[in-house]
Structure 1
Amino acid sequence: MVHALTLLAALSAAGASVTASPLGPPKPPKQFVSGNDVNPFVGRKLFANPKWATKLEATYNSFNSKGDRTNANIVRKVQKTGTFVWVTSRSGLSEIDDAIRAARTEQQRTGQKQVVGLVLYNLPDRDCSAGESAGELSSKNDGLRIYKEEFVKPYARKLKDAKDLTFAVVLEPDSLGNAVTNMGVEFCKQAVPVYREGIAFAIKELQLENVGLYIDAAHGGWLGWADNLPLAAKEFATVLSLANANKAPNARNATIRGFSTNVSNYNPYLVTNETRPAYTEWSPSYDESHYASSLSPYLTELGLPAHFIIDQGRVALPGAREEWGEWCNVEPAGFGHTPTADQGVLKNENVDAIVWVKPGGESDGQCGLAGAPRAGAWFGGYVEMLVKNADASVKA
C-alpha cells in the first residue's frame, strides 16, 4: 500500500487557515453514526498476529548473533505488540480464519478480550495513482462483481460467524484520498466510481454488532490542507449516502465507527509547534492528532462520526523527509508509540486509539531505498532500523 501524493490544489492555500468550525449551528443529525457508538479498543487488547511475530524471529536472531541484547529484547516486546492483518486478495481470505483462531486462543489463555484489527484492501484498479500495490482485480474484467461476491461477502461472513471476538476493519487505504486529489490522473478518474460503489457495498455488508468500521482518510499531509478538508468530508459522505441508497423505508442506516489515518505512512501522532517540519508550514494538520481535530468539524457538519484510529506502526525521524510526498521506505524511521486507547496518552477525544496498521518490516515497494523488495515482501534490514529507532513506549 502506497501513498503517492498528487496534492492538486492542496498547496495553493498557502497562508490559509482552518476555522474552528466550518459552519455554525444548527447541526444535522448524526445520520451515519452507529447507534452502538462505542470505542472498540477500550477494554480490549489489539490482537498480536503470531505470523508477524514469527517473521521477526530472524530480526531477533540477527541482533542476538551480534551480541546486541538490548535490541534483541526490544524485538521480543515488538513481537507481542498488536498489529492489523491485511487481507488483500481472494486467496488471502484465509488470513481471517488464521487470525480468528489465534485471537480465540489468546483470549481464552489470558482472559483478555481481543480486538482483531483487519484491513480490507482489494478494490478493482487499486492504487490508481502509483501502482506499487496494484491488486488482482480490474474493473475492465468484471472486477467489481468479483470484489462484491467473491471477496467482500465471504469476508463479512467470517466476521459474522465470530461473534465472540470484536473486529476493527480499515476500509481500502488510499482509495478515497485519490478521489479527492487525483482526478487529474485518468486511471483514477475512471477508477473512483468503482471505488465508491465497492466501499459502499463493503459498508453495507459489514453492518455487524461485533465490527467497528473505519473508512481510510489518507493522512494530514495529503487531505489535511485547509482546501482539502471540506472536500474530503464531502467524499466520505457521498460514499455513506451510496451505502444507504435504495434501502427499505424503515431500515436502519448503514453506519461506520469513524476513520483511519496515516496507514502505512510515517507522520508523527503529535509534535510541538516548535518542532514541526518546515514542509508543514501553512497546514492546520501538521501531525495526525491535529489532522483529526481539523477534519472533525467538517465530518460532524455532514452527520459523519468524528472518531479516528491513527497508524503509528512506523514514524519518520526528524529530518528524514524533505516533503510529505516521500512515502516509500523512508529512512531513518522507527516503530512509533505502542497501540493504546488511553486518553492520558492520546489527549484528543476524537481519537479512539493509536494503532499499528502497517506491520513494520513489510516493504512499501521497490522504491525509496536501493534494494528494497516488492510491496509487502519482508525487508530485514529495514525492520532492524525500526527496532533501533523505536519509540520510548516500545522500549519501556
Structure 2
Amino acid sequence: MRALTLLAALSAAGASVTASPLGPPKSPRSSASDINPFVGKKLFANPKWAAKLEDTYKSFTQKGDKANAAVVRKVEKIGTFVWVTSRSGLSEIDDAIKAARDEQSRTGQKQVVGLVLYNLPDRDCSAGESAGELSSKNDGLRIYKEQFVKPYAAKLAAAKDLQFAVVLEPDSLGNAVTNTGVEFCKQAVPTYREGIAFAIKNLQLDNVALYLDAANGGWLGWGDSLPLAAKEFATVLSLAKPATIRGFSTNVSNYNPYLTSNTTRPRDSYTAGSPSYDESHYASSLSPYLIQQGLPSHFIIDQGRVALPGARKEWGEWCNVGPAGFGHVPTTDQTVLQNGNVDAIVWVKPGGESDGQCGLAGAPRAGAWFGGYVEMLVKNADASVKN
C-alpha cells in the first residue's frame, strides 16, 4: 500500500515553500470529548503480530545472537495497529477486542485498540501494490458502506469497555490532492470522498477517536501542497457534517523520522526546500491550514519503521526501504514529542509485513511476512526499543 509520493510537477517545484497568507482562523471542528485518547492507556499489543515474531526470535537464537533475541522479546510487547482490509478481515476486530479485554483484565491497564480501516473501492489508485477487493465499477461503494463500514462500526459500538483509535483509509486523500493526473485516481476521487465521509458518520461513537490519514511530509508537506491538502480534508468533512474527527495520522507505512536535528538525526539532503523535513515539522506546517479550514490539528505519527540516514536517495522511495529500523516506541510524553499538536507517536504499520514486491530483493507481495526484513528492523531498532 503506497501511492506516488509526489507528482513530477510538485517535485520540480519543491524549492517553493511560500505559504499563502492565512486569514482569521475558523472555529476548529474537533471530536466531542476533545481528549487525547492515548493518555493514560497502553496501545494494544496484537498477539497475532507477536506470534509472527517468534520465527525472528528463533532465528537470532540459532545464530547465538542473544542481544537481538532479547530485543525481539521487547518488540513483541509493543503496541501496534490492527489492519482491517477486507470484508473477511472484519473478524480481526473481534480477535483484537477479545485479546484487549483479556489484557485489560489481566493487567488492570486500560487499553487503546488501534485499528486501520482500509478497504475503499479502487484503493491504492496510483501504485497498485495494495489494490483491494472492491471496484467502483462493480457496485463497490455500496458494498463498502453496507458490508464493510456498517459492520465495522457495529463491532466497535458493542465494545464500550474499550477505547479505539481508528486510522481512516491511508493514502487515499493524498492521491486526491496530488495524483489526479493518473486517470484511475481522478475517477476514484468522488468514491474516496463519499466512502470516507460515510465511515466518519458511522463511527461517531464515544469510545472511538478518528484520525483521517494525511499521507506524510514528503508527499503533502511542500509549501504549495499544504493548503491543497487542508482543503481536500475539509471537503470530506463537509460531506460528513455534523460528524467530527479527533485529528490526522501521518507517515503510515512510510519511513520518515519523527524529528531531526543537528545533534541527533541530521536532515536528509532530499528534504531541502521543504518546511516539512520530518514528521513533527509536517504536523506543525499543516496545522495552521487545518485550523483555517475549521479542522482539528491533532496528529498521531507512525514510527513503526524509520529509514536510516542515507537509506534513500529521494523521498519517493517507499517500498521495503533499507536499511531501516523500528522507530521510537509509542508514547504521549511531550518531553519526547516536543510538539503540542501531536497526540502520540504510534506504530501503525506492523514491522515485518511487506510493502509489496519491490524495494529490497526477495520482497514478497504486500502484507506477506518478510522475515529477513524484520531481522533488519530489530538490529537497527531505536534506543527506546532496546532500553
Query: Displacement, 1:17?
Result: 2.9
1:85 aligns with 2:74: no
SS at the partner of 2:193? helix
Q: Is the 8 A contact 2:304 2:349 kept in 1?
A: yes
1:328 aligns with 2:319: yes
Alpha-carbon distance in structure 2 between the residues aligned to 1:6 and 1:191: 18
Q: Is the 8 A contact 1:48 1:83 kept in 2?
A: yes
Identical aligned residues as a percent: 81
Show the counterpart of 2:113. 116
Alpha-carbon distance in structure 1 between the residues aligned to 2:9 and 2:275: 16
Q: Is the 8 A contact 1:22 1:298 kept in 2?
A: no
Cα offsets for 1:316-375 (capped at 9, x unmatched): 000000000000000100000000011111000000000000000000000012211000
Q: Is the 8 A contact 1:269 1:287 kept in 2?
A: yes
Show the counterpart of 2:305. 314
CA distance 1:188–1:143, change in 2 (3 Å): same
Show the counterpart of 2:359. 368
Show the counterpart of 2:71. 74
1:137 aligns with 2:134: yes
Show the counterpart of 1:10. 10
1:294 aligns with 2:260: no
Query: Displacement, 1:14?
Result: 4.2
Amino acid in structure 1 at the alignment position of 2:16: A
Amino acid in structure 2 at the alignment position of 1:351: V
CA distance 1:34–1:364, change in 2 (3 Å): same
Query: Displacement, 1:273?
Result: 5.3
Show the counterpart of 2:22. 23
Q: Where does 1:266-305 land on structure 2 (aligned, <5 Å)?
A: 266-272=255-261, 275-305=266-296
Q: Is the 8 A contact 1:288 1:310 kept in 2?
A: yes
Show the counterpart of 1:38. 35
Alpha-carbon distance in structure 1 between the residues aligned to 2:319 and 2:246: 29
Alpha-carbon distance in structure 1 between the residues aligned to 2:303 and 2:107: 25
1:200 aligns with 2:197: yes
Q: Where does 1:224-243 land on structure 2 (aligned, <5 Å)?
A: 224-243=221-240
Q: Is the 8 A contact 1:215 1:259 kept in 2?
A: yes
Query: Displacement, 1:272?
Result: 1.3
CA distance 1:307–1:390, change in 2 (3 Å): same
Cα offsets for 1:194-223 (capped at 9, x unmatched): 000000000000000000000000000000
1:190 to 184, 187, 190: 187
Q: Which runs of 5+ in 1 are unaligned?
A: 245-252
1:256 aligns with 2:254: no
Cα offsets for 1:265-316 (capped at 9, x unmatched): 0000000158211100100000000000000000001110000000000000
SS at the partner of 1:9? helix
Q: Choose 272-281 or 385-394, whichever is displaced more.
A: 272-281
Show the counterpart of 1:390. 381
Query: Displacement, 1:262?
Result: 0.3
Alpha-carbon distance in structure 2 between the residues aligned to 1:15 and 1:356: 31
SS at the partner of 1:159? helix
Aligned length: 385
Alpha-carbon distance in structure 2 between the residues aligned to 1:18 and 1:386: 37
Q: Is the 8 A contact 1:315 1:335 kept in 2?
A: yes
Q: Where does 1:42-61 land on structure 2 (aligned, <5 Å)?
A: 42-61=39-58
Alpha-carbon distance in structure 1 between the residues aligned to 2:62 and 2:7: 45
Q: Is the 8 A contact 2:17 2:224 kept in 1?
A: no
Alpha-carbon distance in structure 2 between the residues aligned to 1:88 and 1:15: 37
Show the counterpart of 1:358. 349
Query: Displacement, 1:24?
Result: 4.0
Show the counterpart of 1:104. 101
Amino acid in structure 2 at the alignment position of 1:331: G
Show the counterpart of 1:248. none
Alpha-carbon distance in structure 1 between the residues aligned to 2:307 and 2:227: 27
Q: Is the 8 A contact 1:214 1:258 kept in 2?
A: yes
Query: Displacement, 1:126?
Result: 0.7
Query: Displacement, 1:2?
Result: 1.7
2:60 to 60, 63, 67: 63
Q: Is the 8 A contact 1:9 1:227 kept in 2?
A: no
Alpha-carbon distance in structure 2 between the residues aligned to 1:38 and 1:107: 20
